[in-house]
Each structure stands twice: as C-alpha cells, then as structure tokens.
Amino acid sequence: MVKLICSECGRRFSPKEKIFQCICDGVLEVAEKKVSFPVNKIRKRKNSIWRYREAIPVESDKNVVSLGEGLTPLLPLKYTDLEILAKLDFLFPTGSFKDRGSSVMISHLKDLGVKKIMDDSSGNAGASISAYAAKAGMSCEIFCPSYASGGKLTQILYYGAKLNRVPGMREDTEKAILKRTKEAYYASHNWNPYFIEGTKTLAFEIAEQLGWSSPDNIICPCGNGGIYLGLFTGFRELIEKGVVSSMPRLLGVQSSVCPPIYNAYREKIDFVKPFKQISRTIAEGVCLAKPVRGQLILKAMKESKGSFEVVKDDEVIRGLRFLALQGVFVEPTSAIVIPAIEKFYQNRMIGKKEKTVVVLSGSGLKTTDVLASSRFLSLEYQRAS
C-alpha cells in the first residue's frame, strides 16, 4: 500500500490525508509504490505520460485528468562539435513540462475528492495547474510574483483561475499563500510529492526513446528540482525494475542571480543555505531562494555522480539565440542549459563521445514580452528601421 513518508523525521501518512507537508514541516515523498513497466504493452499505448500507468500511483482510472500530455520529441542538435539530444519538453498542452506533474497531482486530488485548490508559482506551474484544475472542474487560485511574464498570467486568467499578484521576490509569494492554507487545499507543485510522480515520466520517455536505455548525462534547469528529482526518481525505478542498467549523470543549471544549490555543491555541504536574492533574472523559473527539496537534490546529485553549473543572463540570451537559429524557440529559463553544455564539457563532466540529453522545459511563446525588450531585439529593430 502506498504511503507518504516524511524525508526529515520518517513519519508515515496515508496518501488519503489532505496534507502538503509533515507536521514537522518536512517534505513528503511517495513510498512503497508497486511500479512495473510492461514494455510490450507500453509500446502500443497512446503518446501520453499515462502510457506508464503501472508506474503512476493514482488510484482510480476514472479520476485521471489528462489533456493528452507527453512523449515529447527527442531532437538531435549539434552544439559546437558536440552532438546532443534536446528533449522538447515545452511541447505540452500549456507550453511547459509542468503538465507532467499537474496531470498526476490533479488526478490524485480528484481521487481525494478535493474541490478547491491554490498554488504559488513564478508562472508556468500556475498556468499548468489552472489548466488541469479547469479540466477537472476544480476551483483554483494562483499566487504569482508581480514580475511574472504577462503570457503566463494571461494563460492563468483564461483558464478561469483567480490570480493574486504579490509584490517582491518569489519567496514573498510563498509567504503570502502560507497565510491562507486553511481556505483551500494547497496544491503546491513544490511541496506535493505527487507532482514529482508526474515529472518522473520524463525519465521513462527518455529511456523508451533510447530503446530502453539510459543516456550518459542529462542537463536540466534546476530551481526547486522538479525536473532534477523527477529524473532521479524515474531512473531509479527503471533501474530497480531492471529496465535500464545505469543512472545518468544529472547535471543541474542555476542562474547566477539565485544559485543556492550550486553554492552548496561548491562548498561541498549536504544542505542548502537560503539565498538572499537581490536582483532579477530573465531565467525567472529557476529562482528559488530556499528550495524545499534542497537536501534531496544534493543527495540525488551525489548518487548520480552529477554536478551543478551557474550561468549569467547574457549567456542565457546567447543560448536562446543558438536554439532559435535551429528553429527551436524556448523561454530563457530553458535556454539556461545551452551555455552550461560548454561549462560541463570543460569541467570534464561530459565527454565528446557520450550521449547527452538537454531538457528544454518551457515555450518561448510565453515570454515574448520579456524577450521583446531584450537588448538583442532592440538592436535588431534599430537595424531593421
């Protein structure tokens, strides 16, 4: 029987309890799952994350909330003289990988009979949860930092959610929602362990697309570690079931404006010190001053023999341009992985002959307002007139 286990004190809870964290404030994990991968059956199923149904701990099939999300392309790209594979995880119903987590978390909440939810987000998760709440017929309220991209806020409003814009940095948004958790279920994409149960399907897809094998390395953006821990959880399950034989090196990338996990990695400590963010970055989706799963991310890094890198905004824009010139238009938070390829290569974390996947997590169409005011585009406009 599936249990929720606190990663801090080890307390156990039934998955039917409507809680988002342990009574000790620790973060919960879904444990004692019975997962399996019937690969012959999976091959014949629809292109959706739900093709891995036996590995997703949602109780009832009738409560599955799906918008047809999943099995995004794995596109070969050449970066300098390195061959890489880009996982196009921005090709989701709401334009970001968050739909993996939202589909599973909202389905679980439907299992529990939850009718009213709220979440805080820098934009993408808010838009995604609003869409799946709309599909599920749940009422939804989203708290966003007031600086979040207009495209994401517009999405949230069109999906019918109530929007609260909170002044200040990303952490102020979380503080604002924590005062209101008695009014509706706090369906936090950062705290709720079912969100990771959805993002782990990214690992299943990469493995299936590589003929049920693991790549050598995966480079991904890392704020609160949704993708990073999803990959770790997913590959660990595939290894335990003997479907693949190795854990890829998990290489996370943070913005130089807010790099608490990178700092812990550099200082060789096993906990993440809260970071005091004083300025903004165009990579808004990876700015978490105090990632709630910080310790778990560092543990996953150690077990996967992974590493972290940090990049600046001008490098992000160059990465974004590199992708766009190959026909791939992503948001800055996603483009953060491109300049990191070179850094990991120089640090000998990735080798020329190795198989490296980069995760492109969010669509550029969400951030056209931010990109339109970038220095690059103003120079291009001047040239055109």
State the residues that interact with Zn ion by CB under 5 A.
6, 8-9, 11, 22, 24, 26
Q: How near is the Cβ of 39 to Zn ion at its closest, in Å? A: 37
Q: How far apart are CA 21 and CA 252, in angstroms?
A: 25
Where residue 251 falls (left for φ over 0; alpha for ψ -120 to 50; beta otherwise) is: beta
Q: How near is the Cβ of 121 to Zn ion at its closest, in Å? A: 25
Q: Of 271 and 327, which has the nearer Cβ to Zn ion?
A: 271
Interaxial angle between packed helices 124-136 and 150-158, expressed in degrees from 0 to 180 and rounded to the nearest 10: 10
Q: Of 11 and 116, which has the nearer Cβ to Zn ion?
A: 11
Q: How near is the Cβ of 8 to Zn ion at its closest, in Å? A: 4
Q: Of 196 and 227, which has the nearer Cβ to Zn ion?
A: 196
CA-to-CA separations, 382 to 33, 317, 357, 375, in angstroms, rounded:
58, 18, 37, 11
Give the contacts of 365 (CB within 8 A, at least 6 positions apart): 95, 151, 329
Q: How near is the Cβ of 191 to Zn ion at its closest, in Å? A: 13
CB 302 within 8 A of CB 292: no
Q: How near is the Cβ of 25 to Zn ion at its closest, in Å? A: 7
Where residue 219 falls (left for φ over 0; alpha for ψ -120 to 50; beta otherwise) is: beta
Q: Of 6 and 328, which has the nearer Cβ to Zn ion?
A: 6
Q: Of 13 and 147, which has the nearer Cβ to Zn ion?
A: 13
Q: How near is the Cβ of 237 to Zn ion at its closest, in Å? A: 23
Q: Of 13 and 322, which has the nearer Cβ to Zn ion?
A: 13
Q: How near is the Cβ of 29 to Zn ion at its closest, in Å? A: 11
Query: What is the CA angle 275-281-287, rounded to 5?
Result: 40
What share of residues in the chain are helix, strand, coil (percent, to 5)? 40, 20, 40
Give the length of the chain: 385
Q: Of 10 and 150, which has the nearer Cβ to Zn ion?
A: 10
Q: Of 22 and 310, which has the nearer Cβ to Zn ion?
A: 22
Q: How near is the Cβ of 19 to Zn ion at its closest, in Å? A: 11
Neighbours of 224 (CB within 10 A): 26
Q: Of 87 and 293, which has the nearer Cβ to Zn ion?
A: 293
CB 310 within 8 A of CB 253: yes
Tokens (6 digits) for 93: 């119903």
Q: How near is the Cβ of 271 to Zn ion at its closest, in Å? A: 16
Q: How far apart are CA 237 and CA 276, in angstroms?
A: 35
CA-to-CA separations, 321 to 61, 102, 223, 374, in angstroms, rounded:
42, 29, 22, 12
Q: How far apart are CA 3 and CA 150, in angstroms?
A: 39
Q: Of 193 and 332, which has the nearer Cβ to Zn ion?
A: 193
- How are beta strands 307-311 and 74-79 bridged, if at all? unpaired
Q: How near is the Cβ of 20 to Zn ion at its closest, in Å? A: 12
Q: How far apart are CA 153 and CA 165, in angstroms?
A: 9
Q: How far apart are CA 28 and CA 9, in angstroms?
A: 10
